[in-house]
Structure 1
Amino acid sequence: MPPELSEEGQLVAEALDKGTLPLLKDKVEPILEQNWGEQPRDVGCDPEARTLCAFYVVVSILLQMGEKPTSLFS
């Protein structure tokens, strides 16, 4: 029996079940593409751009984790 999920884990599982994460990724991706298409800039200097990039990376990783069963608890 897998261990009980933390509150954060439950929120992520719920977002995966409801399909919220793919929608968020789809909304963030065009913004990133537009920003870099119009004005390539150093992300390290812009806190908002850094936050958006980090958010995109986290959502992408969570989506990949949701697609592949892991053997950590086997």
Structure 2
Amino acid sequence: MWAELLGVERVGRDDHFFALGGHSLLLSRALDLGLKLSTADLVQAPVLKETYVENSAAATAPQCSWSAIRS
């Protein structure tokens, strides 16, 4: 999902959302696709694995296919 959203071939769990070209409009698109993540969540933890860990700790893990994210 992240690779398609960001328009890149591959996204790793250690990749930084904004360094890959992510921005608030893309985040809005992800939310429209059903990702359970707020803008604040991604700004506070822009490295994708950190975003997942932060949300897991808060019991609000994003609903996406993490198996598609490679390290």
Give TM-score scaled by structure 1 length.
0.26
Structure with the bigger percentage of helix? 1
